[in-house]
């Protein structure tokens, strides 16, 4: 909810329900100065709106270097996480066929997003080859699992692979490395898909502020389905 508007800011009013990025100030607080924002769709509750900002913008920034997705087959490594699930739904909305990796317990969730699920780890190329006999056009890594070289081998060209999670691997292999940008247009795209029911941020768990250390420990296990939020 907008409390105050800075000088020179237009297109938003006090009392509007917005979501976005907290820039360098961070956002685990009653009040945050947003560096990019968009109106939150009525289909999301406040926790979903809070979880959607960084995840959706990171996903879109990771998809941009892969080019047009309409009619193409995309492999998403780590498709059940906050960034990965956003990338799956946004890529499908842009016309892609998506194969997404996740542990077995997440396969039904990945299928509910519209992706073809498969397991990550050894044998990935064989499993993906069976699911996509025509080949995979592009791949996005959101897992930092050390699988970038496998993704390049599956796609056949480092220029058609991007990562938001493995900077060292990207430099070594010549893969695109993408970071979240302060981009209100990307947030607006995510919000529009939210209003249409085509991007639904999933909140796996919410912790009270007093348990924020537990929340960080939980996320650091690296197996979050969707997002973890802090309630104030
Ligand atoms: N560049 C940026 O601006 C930016 C911004 C935000 C986040 N990030 C990075 O993006 C990554 C994803 O963030 P997130 O918030 O989406 O994380 P997350 O919610 O914790 O999701 C991680 C996902 O990775 C999957 N996973 C775990 N081990 C895996 C493995 N060995 N191979 C493949 N997938 C595996 C998990 O699936 P299972 O539970 O099914 O195992 C989980 O769904 C993190 O590395 C984060 O630091 C970068």
The reply to whether the predicted model has a pTM over 0.75 is: yes
Q: Where residue 23 falls among pLDDT bands split at 50, 70, 90?
A: low
The closest residue, in CA terms, to atom 25 on ligand 1 is 78
Atom of ligand 1 nearest to the CA of 103: 40
- 114/89 same-domain check: yes
Ligand 1 centre from 84 Cα, in Å? Answer: 7
- pLDDT single digits (tens) 163-179: 999 999 999 999 999 99
- 30/130 same-domain check: no
The closest residue, in CA terms, to atom 30 on ligand 1 is 145
Query: Given 177, 192, 215, which residue is the final one in a domain?
Result: 177
Coil vs helix vs strand at 66? helix
The enclosing domain of 162 has a CATH number of 3.40.50.720
- Whether the Cβ atoms of residue 139 and residue 116 lie closer than 8 Å to each other: no
Atom of ligand 1 nearest to the CA of 102: 40
- Whether the Cβ atoms of residue 46 and residue 74 lie closer than 8 Å to each other: no
The predicted model gives 201-224 an average pLDDT of 94
Q: Where residue 24 falls among pLDDT bands split at 50, 70, 90?
A: low
* Residue 201 main-chain phi, psi, to 5 deg: -60, 130
């Amino acid at each position: 909810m907008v409390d105050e508007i800075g000088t020179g800011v237009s297109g938003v009013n006090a009392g509007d329900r917005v979501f976005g990025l907290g820039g360098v100030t961070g956002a685990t607080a009653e009040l945050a100065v947003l560096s990019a924002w968009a109106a939150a769709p009525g289909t999301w509750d406040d926790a979903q709106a809070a979880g959607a900002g960084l995840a959706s913008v990171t996903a879109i920034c990771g998809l941009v270097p892969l080019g047009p997705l309409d009619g193409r087959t995309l492999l998403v490594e780590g498709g059940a996480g906050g960034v990965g699930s956003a990338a799956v739904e946004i890529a499908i909305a842009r016309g892609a066929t998506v194969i997404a990796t996740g542990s077995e317990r997440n396969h039904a969730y990945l299928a509910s997003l519209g992706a073809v699920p498969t397991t990550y780890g050894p044998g990935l190329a064989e499993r993906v080859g069976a699911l996509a006999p025509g080949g995979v056009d592009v791949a996005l890594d959101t897992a930092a699992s050390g699988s970038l070289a496998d993704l390049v081998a599956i796609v056949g060209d480092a220029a058609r692979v991007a990562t938001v999670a493995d900077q060292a691997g990207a430099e070594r292999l010549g893969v695109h490395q993408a970071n979240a940008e302060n981009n209100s247009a990307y947030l607006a795209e995510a919000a529009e898909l939210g209003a249409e029911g085509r991007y639904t941020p999933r909140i796996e768990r919410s912790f009270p502020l007093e348990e924020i250390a537990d929340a960080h420990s939980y996320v650091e296990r690296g197996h979050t389905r969707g997002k973890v939020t802090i309630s104030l």
